Amino acid sequence: MFGLVIDHGVGTASAMTARTTASTGVSVQTAVAAGILALGNKHGGAIEGAANLFKGIPEGADIAELVKTAKSAKQRLPGFGHRVLAHDTRVDILFAVAKEAGHYGKYCALAEKIAEELAKQSSKPIPLNIDGAMAAVLLEIGIEPEIANGFFLIGRVPGLIAQIAEELKQNNGLRRLEESEIVYE
């Protein structure tokens, strides 16, 4: 599970924050902490929300109606959708391991059922993402939603260290946004 979230490129909020902070000359642990602080509901922090969603759906619920209601209310379902990926292959890997270990159960099946229904009702891809898959597997092994985001954090720290090491090795000086990238209103 941890290896699936170790890194997702320099363009992620956590990697950019860690690298920018490292470029100021702070310690590695300070730059890692900055990267961790960039994790939130829109980046690495949807696991708790997805776990609460899955736990809150009664067995036998009409998933088509649940998705329809969420879509009509323009409500995003935590653990679904990805800014870059139309299909998150990390989900396939995690669920294959969960099946092999005997931990693919009702929450994993529910997550996949919601993803199938989203695909039917949406004109654009809204895949089950790694946060949603982690939420399902963590529930299967008895982890409560309120601590679930911590598992993403554990997996991401080595990736942040690698990003920081690369930043320090490149030694390009202090990172700064170009003036052309800044829009004032």
CA gap 104, 89 in Å, rounded = 17
CATH code for the domain defined by 2-173: 1.10.230.10
Cβ neighbors of 44 (< 8 A, separation 6 or more) are: 5, 14, 131, 149, 152, 153, 156
Please choose, from the candidates 143, 3, 24, 126, the residue with its C-alpha nearest in 3D space to the C-alpha of residue 67.
126
**CA atoms within a 13 Å half-sphere pointing along the CA-CB vector of 77:** 28
- What was the pLDDT predicted at 118? 95
- What was the pLDDT predicted at 176? 85
- What was the pLDDT predicted at 145? 97
Query: 131 with 145: CB under 8 angstroms?
Result: no
Q: What is the pLDDT along the chain (185 residues), one digit of tens a residue?
A: 898 988 888 989 999 999 999 999 999 999 999 999 999 888 888 999 999 999 999 999 999 999 999 999 999 999 999 888 889 999 999 999 999 999 999 999 999 999 999 999 998 989 999 999 999 999 999 999 999 999 999 999 999 999 999 999 999 989 888 888 889 88
Retrieve residue 116's tokens. 């199938």
- pTM of structure: 0.88
